[in-house]
A and B are shown apart, each in its own frame.
Chain A
Amino acid sequence: MNKSIFFILLATILFFISACQKDVYQCDHPAATDDVVINRNHPMKDSLEAIIDKFVDLGIPGVQVAVKNADGWYITGGGYAKIEDKSPLTSGMKSWYFSLTKTYTAALAMQLWEEGQLQLDAPINTYLAPDVASGITGSNTITVRMLLNHSSGIVNFTELPAFQLGQLNNPLDQPTLEEKLELVYGQPLLFTPGADFSYSNTNYLLLQLIIEKASGKTYEQLLEEKIIQPLKLQHTHYNLADTDMASMPFPNYYFDRFANEQLENITQWNMALGNTSLAYGGIAGTAADAIRFYEALNKGQVVGAAALAEMRTWIQGQESTQPDYGLGLEYYQYGLDGDTGQYGHEGDGIGCTTQMMYVPANDTYLYINITAGRQLFGPYLFKTTDLKIALSRYTARWRP
Chain B
Amino acid sequence: MIQKMKRLLFVFYLHLALVAAMPATLQAQNSPPPLQWDVAAGIGSIHMPGLGADWQQAQTVVYAGAEQPFNQRRTLGLALRFSYARSKYQGDAVSTQLLFTFSPLIANAIETGIGLGVGYQRAFSPSKSLNWDGENWIAGKQSKGLFHVPLRLSLGYKVKGKQYDFTPYVAYQVQALFGYSPDLSLLPQSHALIGLKIASH
Contact = CB atoms under 8 A, between A and B. Distances in A.
Interface of A: 3-4, 7-8, 10-12, 14-19, 21-26, 57-59, 61, 83-84, 160-162, 164-166, 168-172, 183, 254, 257-266, 269, 375-378
A14 B180 CA distance: 21
A258 B52 contact: no
Contacts of B182: 259, 376-378
Interface of B: 4, 7-8, 11-12, 15-16, 19, 35, 45-47, 51-54, 56-57, 64, 66, 82-84, 88-94, 96, 122-132, 134, 137, 140-144, 180-184, 188
A83 B47 contact: no
B44 to A, nearest CB: 10
Given A21-B127, A161-B52, A169 B89 contact: yes
A257 B90 CA distance: 9
A165 B53 contact: yes
B144 A8 contact: no
Contacts of A265: 127-128, 130
A377 B181 contact: yes
B53 A15 contact: no
A65 B91 CA distance: 33
A161 B124 CA distance: 22
Given A10-B64, A165-B51, A15 B4 contact: yes
Given A24-B127, A262-B129, A263-B129, A18 B53 contact: no
Contacts of A266: 127
A166 B53 contact: yes
Contacts of A263: 129-132, 140
Given A3-B19, A11-B82, A161 B8 contact: no
Contacts of B92: 17-18
Contacts of A24: 88-89, 126-127
Given A15-B8, A84-B130, A261-B132, 20 more contacts: A4-B12, A4-B16, A8-B12, A11-B15, A14-B83, A17-B84, A17-B92, A18-B122, A19-B143, A24-B89, A61-B132, A161-B52, A162-B52, A162-B53, A258-B123, A260-B144, A265-B127, A265-B128, A375-B183, A378-B182
